[in-house]
Copies of this chain bind each other. A is one copy, B any other.
């Protein structure tokens, strides 16, 4: 760890905790890029995090996630609480240009220090998207935000994992979506603590909500090894995010879910988040070691043999591990 990285991290962390939003933004960029500054800052901030309520919001394309997030921000601010948003965009897996979409409307909060919105590309997180978003949430948590919303599209494995790792996971649906979307929905429902039928002013909203309630009665309790208790089946709410209808009830439901979790054992999600984060760092460390100047040539020669099918990947992996352990 370079001393200047540690110094820079201390400056940025102290400024971010003190309310400097530019410093906070820079810190989050460091987290996304997994720099040494990010590591030093997280070491420093981590012990003070753990107070915020992390809420994952996910659902298929077109269900209105961004509009609902905007409506929730308004509701949370009306209640005098602070809120940060991490929006994992359906953006390029390669160049990572994050799209703004209808998030532009949120620029009306530009002068409000209690609202912070951050887009995060879904690509290129070596240790996994969940690890990066967890680290970003820890920074926002330490910076004192009451509520942290993590918005992801609900159609990719990594993206669903991100939302499922929150304290409370909201799955959004919209009435009358297509068949393929229905298929996606079945998987999503299993990670839901709350289900929201958005676009409640559209025909079919009540019917969709009734169908979902029936599905959730029929389905078994969560079978995912998640130790979080599911004291009762997920509530199904109807919102019209565009008008704000149902949004106060959604916020109340989020608060209820949190207090139930606190009384019971909400540590399952926290333990899973900790493991994802620690594991990503372990993997980073090991990968760096295999590609450092002492090992890079041997690593690349091995990978080339595998690519040419002259060596199987298990033997290659064993040789890499032996090599890295020999120093």
Question: Interface residues, chain A, CB within 8 Å of chain B?
Answer: 39, 42-44, 46-50, 60-62, 89-95, 97, 99, 101, 122-123, 125, 129, 135, 153, 155-161, 164, 178-181, 183-184, 186-188, 190-191, 222-224, 267, 270-271, 273-275, 277-279, 281-283, 285-287, 290, 302-304, 306-318, 320-321, 325
Contact = CB atoms under 8 A, between A and B. Distances in A.
A179 B43 CA distance: 40
Give the one of A60, A94, A286 with max B CB within 10 A: A94
B317 A95 contact: no
A313 B275 CA distance: 9
Contact of A90 (B183, B278, B320): B183
B47 A274 contact: no
Nearest to A268: B307
A282 B89 CA distance: 30
Given A61-B180, A271-B307, A281-B313, 7 more contacts: A61-B155, A61-B178, A90-B183, A93-B160, A95-B223, A122-B156, A129-B157
A127 to B, nearest CB: 10
B190 A278 contact: no
Given A99-B183, A275-B303, A313-B277, A93 B164 contact: yes
A282 B320 contact: yes
A271 to B, nearest CB: 5
A282 B285 CA distance: 12
